[in-house]
Chains A and B, each alone.
Chain A
């Protein structure tokens, strides 16, 4: 009995030893398998993470200029992760045989941050008449391609506006020259510097047409234009000559693509300097034009609680007014002549009632008043000839409403109905061209009547 028990004990121990060994081997296999799987999982996760990070990288070229024959670029990181620029490939796309070079970068841009002056420290020499392809490579492997075009390699959209197109001798002409980057491939155009070539067409007469640059170009240059962006350059020229002479302006940019330019002509027109001519002009057309849309009125009188200062919101447009209300009136006028016109206090709005089904035939003079300002209302025009309409297409606002010449009080129109209006101008030319009225010297008179849209009173 005792021996049997001993034999059973040895078998159990033996079985247990083998069992433990088998379990150990199994655990080893299981641990190894899990370990491999874990390692592979980590690699897959890391790879996915890297791909996600790479796909979220965003860099954009915001600005390009060339300073000291080197690129000066601004690159913006619009993605959520910091990016490190490690390489820039530059291709000269203007050269027929090509030119290709790489430059090592070591610049980190934080999310939302920008890197300025990229290119200033590179050995690359940038030229304004060459187009470039730039490929910027990040450490994660993202490649951003920027195309920077020279005006030489792309036909830019150009537009030119000359105002006035018909100028008086000695008058100023303003030129607005627009240049647009009309490329649709996202290319940026660099080094936009306007050029102007004036010329003239002499139609005969005593004078040879001339043109003198007074101002411009403003701005002098534009470093770069992104896609669809437009820049406007302004020139002011003084032109002179005989009637029918023309001054031609040909505008383009430096290093343009052949044929990429735009032109405009300005014709010299007759000017009223002689009394007879002035008389003719004032009868038929006149030097003064009026901007009808600027016509406004404001209920007010001396001591009125309603303010009619120049910037007051109480000024209202339209044509319908109250016949029983005292108003100030104002309208913008332009002097298209070459001399200022000093206004006499006879100048007024002359209203004629046409009909209201009965009485009618009432005339009302609303005389010129002194200018309102942002702090004062229109006042009496007591200083005769103090108000002038400046020459050369400049405009000014005239205030009316006085019940008499040099009166501070306004008056009602006084009757209901339709009122055609005549704006009657009286005054003298600025003979001395010194913008100051000089009695006895500025004695060349001017007058003009402009029929006006009706005022309806109710």
Chain B
């Protein structure tokens, strides 16, 4: 009996050990696959998120830089010379008083009457498209050209100056 019992137990023991070894390997493989998948997916998500963040950061940085530069861009109309020789000639001198260079892209000048309307049509207006760079603390004279500023109806020059960063300066200059 003892022998018989021992041999049966041995046989069961042998059978049972083989099954356990098979079950442990599968679990390990599946776990590895899951870890790898999660790791890969997580990494992809993380890289994507980081990348997206960097892109957004760059955009935000650009926006902030533009806003900052727009704020730092400051200029004044230092002088306006209404010349009679040559007749009806207008020169505008701008001074960059900011701490950043600027680019004047357009200057619009219109001689207006008391109601703010164009005083004499085409001869009373001039639109210039420029690319006039003005360095820090420097001035630049812009020759606007001939405008009939001493027309009988002309009372004021309506001057609009625009820079590449979007600064718009509008001033009125009395002519009579």
Interface residues of A (CB under 8 A from B): 3, 7, 10, 14, 18, 21-22, 25, 28-29, 32-33, 36, 39-40, 43-44, 46-47, 50, 54, 86-87, 89, 96-98, 100, 102, 135, 137, 139-141, 143
Contact = CB atoms under 8 A, between A and B. Distances in A.
A3 B24 contact: yes
Interface string B79-98: 10111110000000101010
Given A100-B83, A141-B95, A43 B78 contact: no
A347 B41 CA distance: 133
Interface stretch (B4-12, B66-74, B151-159): B66-74
Nearest to A31: B57
B140 to A, nearest CB: 12
Contacts of A143: 76, 78
* Band of interface residues on B: 20 to 34
Nearest to A46: B72
Contacts of A14: 35, 38-39, 42
A110 B78 CA distance: 23
B137 interface: yes
Contacts of A28: 50, 53, 57
Contacts of A7: 31
Given A21-B46, A97-B84, A139 B97 contact: yes
Given A18-B42, A28-B53, A143-B78, A10 B31 contact: yes
B114 interface: no
A402 to B, nearest CB: 78
Given A29-B53, A43-B71, A141-B76, A36 B61 contact: yes
Interface string B53-69: 10001001100100110
Main secondary structure of the interface of B (DSSP, over half): helix
Interface of B: 24, 27, 31, 35, 38-39, 42, 46, 49-50, 53, 57, 60-61, 64, 67-68, 71-72, 74-76, 78-79, 81-85, 93, 95, 97, 137, 139
A137 B95 contact: yes
A98 B64 CA distance: 47
Given A18-B42, A32-B60, A87-B139, A102 B79 contact: yes
Contacts of B50: 25, 28
A86 B46 CA distance: 56
Nearest to A33: B60
B27 A10 contact: no
Contact of B79 (A36, A40, A89): A89
Nearest to A42: B68
B74 A40 contact: no
Contacts of A21: 42, 46
Contact of A135 (B27, B46, B79): B79
Nearest to A87: B78
A36 B64 contact: yes
Given A98-B84, A140-B97, A47 B71 contact: yes
A373 B88 CA distance: 76
Contacts of B97: 54, 139-141
B39 A29 contact: no
A17 to B, nearest CB: 8
Contacts of A33: 60
Contacts of B85: 97-98
Contacts of B35: 10, 14
A18 B74 contact: no
